[in-house]
Structure 1
Amino acid sequence: MFTIKLEEWDLLKWISKNKKAFLLLIVVVVVVLAGILDIKYEGLFYQLLPTSVQTFLTDLF
């Protein structure tokens, strides 16, 4: 169990040194995709928008 935690720590250290831009890109893509799916399936954030914006987005998607 201790070696698994140690290996995970080494992996996180390696990622933090070498792949910050790549991980940031992945996070941005996931957030944008989640936003598009929220609009398409009329999720929580879509419902919080004003009616005029909802109508515009419904016509767009």
Structure 2
Amino acid sequence: MKWTSKNKKILLFFIIVIIIIAGVLDIKYEGLFYQLLPTSMQTFLSSLF
């Protein structure tokens, strides 16, 4: 418990980085979140990745 109370900012940073990486991989491999987006957003994101 003491470790998490001291390093909350570091832990939060790693969680945010993992969420961002998961989102990028979802878009790249056309996962569930990607499929829920409208077609216009899908074509825009496909051109980026």
Q: How many residues were matched structurally?
A: 49
Gaps spanning 5+ residues in structure 1: where? 1-12
Q: CA RMSD in A?
A: 0.6
* Residue 56 of structure 1 pairs with residue 33 of structure 2: no
Note the residue ranges of structure 2 that are not aligned, 5 or more in a row. none
Taking the aligned partners of 2:45 and 2:2, their CA distance within structure 1 comes to: 41
One-letter code aligned to 1:39: I
Percent identical: 57
Q: RCO higher in 1 or 2 (8 Å CA, sep ≥ 6)?
A: 2
Give the TM-score normalised by structure 1. 0.77
TM normalised by structure 2 equals: 0.95
Structure 2 residue aligned with 1:20, among 8, 32, 40?
8
1:27-46 → structure 2 map (5 Å cutoff): 27-46=15-34
* 1:36 aligned counterpart, secondary structure: helix
After the TM superposition, list the runs of 4 or more consecutive aligned residues in structure 1 that deviate by more than 6 angstroms.
Answer: none
Deviation of 1:15 (Å): 2.1
Q: Which structure has the larger Rg? A: 1
